[in-house]
Amino acid sequence: MIKLVSAGATDVGLWRSNNEDACLVMPELDLFAIADGMGGAAAGEVASSYFIETARTVFGDRGSASKENDYKLVQNVFRQTNERIFEHSAQYPDDEGMGCTGDLLVFHGNRYVIGHSGDSRVYLLRDGNLKQLTRDHSWVQLQVDQGLLTPEEARNHPRKNIILRALGTDPIVSFDMLEGRGFDRDIFLLASDGLTDMVEDAVIQEMLVSTGTVQQKVKNLIKAALSAGGRDNVTVILCEVQANDSAESRDN
């Protein structure tokens, strides 16, 4: 068996007057989610709140925890959120164009499932090495994939905020599904681009391998984003896997 030790927080940043990010930390359901809204006025906040509310509702009726069931529920979260956003836009035409990124991580035992759409990210720190599990659905990432931009050029490109996939942008929602196994001392990071645009992966890795609780590390990551300029809302969730059974440890 494993235990999940988690923490999450969001900050408006230094340049924005409102926070369009939203997050969900529910270790009692082994459920973690993050969304970054987009759209005029407060529409982005509404879209991201739809994702979080839908995740809470769908997994509140989870029933048995299995890979097959969790796959279905993750898909339901993305599809239902997309429908809610389009229904909202139809009812409130001034909010047309609203949407949000969405990342959801759920565990069943030591197995996990991830749903992903947009450019918020899920990382895994394992054995001191940080790996980005999700792939950005962005214009600059597409250019990197095609060899037209280097990752360094993409990081500061003026079109880096162009998102190719997100919730609310197409009636038929498109999202990625990933799965894997969690091991003792793994740390999963869910982050909005308010962190990853401001703090390089190498620095994030260094902060995650440092001593301290996950609560302290969440605070330190947000502080680092703010110290680097805080140009966007910043949201961070950390989930550490702790094995209380030797069968879950890679040392055995």
Q: What is the pLDDT of residues 231-243, one digit of tens each?
A: 999 999 999 999 8
Task: With a cut of 70, say whether residue 248 has pLDDT above it.
Answer: no
Q: What residue spans define the domains of the chain?
A: 2-243
* 2-243 fold: Phosphatase 2c; domain 1 (3.60.40)
Task: With a cut of 70, say whether residue 247 has pLDDT above it.
Answer: no
Element (DSSP H or E) covering residue 153: helix 151-155
Task: With a cut of 90, say whether residue 65 has pLDDT above it.
Answer: no
Element (DSSP H or E) covering residue 226: helix 214-227
User: What letter represents residue 133's amino acid?
Assistant: L
φ, ψ of residue 186 to 5 degrees: the values are -60, 145
For residues 154 and 141, the answer to whether their CB atoms sit within 8 Å is yes
**Banded model confidence at residue 245, pLDDT cuts 50, 70, 90:** low
Taking alpha carbons only, the member of 131, 90, 132, 106 closest to residue 34 is 106
The whole-number average pLDDT for the span 64-73 is 86
DSSP 8-state code for residue 163: B
pLDDT in tens, 220-233: 999 999 999 999 99
Task: With a cut of 50, say whether residue 105 has pLDDT above it.
Answer: yes
Helix (H, G, I), strand (E, B) or coil at 145: helix
Q: What percent of the chain has pLDDT over 90?
A: 81
Termini Cα distance of the chain: 14
pLDDT in tens, 28-61: 999 999 999 998 667 999 999 999 999 999 999 8
Give 49 or 65, the one with higher predicted confidence: 49
Taking alpha carbons only, the member of 166, 163, 39, 45 closest to residue 101 is 166
Given 3-state DSSP classes, what are the helix, strand and coil percentages for the chain, each rounded to the nearest 5? 35, 30, 35
Tokens 């429908």 belong to residue: 83
Taking alpha carbons only, the member of 201, 166, 226 closest to residue 12 is 226
pLDDT in tens, 141-183: 899 899 999 888 888 888 888 899 999 999 999 999 999 999 9
C-alpha pair distances (Å), 45 with each of 174, 191, 234: 21, 16, 14
pLDDT for residue 41 = 66
Q: What percent of the chain has pLDDT over 70?
A: 96
Helix (H, G, I), strand (E, B) or coil at 67: helix
